[in-house]
Amino acid sequence: AQSVSQHNHHVILSEAASLELGCNYSYGGTVNLFWYVQYPGQHLQLLLKYFSGDPLVKGIKGFEAEFIKSKFSFNLRKPSVQWSDTAEYFCAVKSRNNNDMRFGAGTRLTVKP
């Protein structure tokens, strides 16, 4: 089964700072890639996803992620964070051959006003 590694456990930024959260996966086959977000007190929801085509995908709230196949990476970015982006962010990988979906350990983002 695939595995997912998120390098940053907790990131603290000031408003307007730029954000990049790392995600690397380990799997030999073709995958779909996702970022999910969990705002405080809420359930997990999809932020963006990559299936095929343009490796730079755009999601909600100004987030984007770039799939670099050679690096097995799918890093999440946002040029200017807001206090409301404070949340936990999870990278996920799903094998194209089945429905096996694995998540990284998550990165907690705290944005200071």
Partner 1 sequence: GAGVSQSPSNKVTEKGKDVELRCDPISGHTALYWYRQRLGQGLEFLIYFQGNSAPDKSGLPSDRFSAERTGESVSTLTIQRTQQEDSAVYLCASSLSLSGTGELFFGEGSRLTVL
Please give the residue ranges that form the binding site for partner 1 (CB under 8 A): 1, 6, 32, 34, 36, 43-46, 49, 51, 90, 92, 94, 98-106
- In the complex with partner 1, the residue whose CB is nearer, 38 or 73, is 38
* Positions of E strands within 7-72: 10-14, 19-21, 24-26, 31-38, 45-50, 56-58, 64-68
Considering just the CA atoms, what is the radius of gyration of the chain in Å? 13
Q: Cβ of residue 90: shortest distance to partner 1, in angstroms? A: 6
Q: Cβ of residue 79: shortest distance to partner 1, in angstroms? A: 25
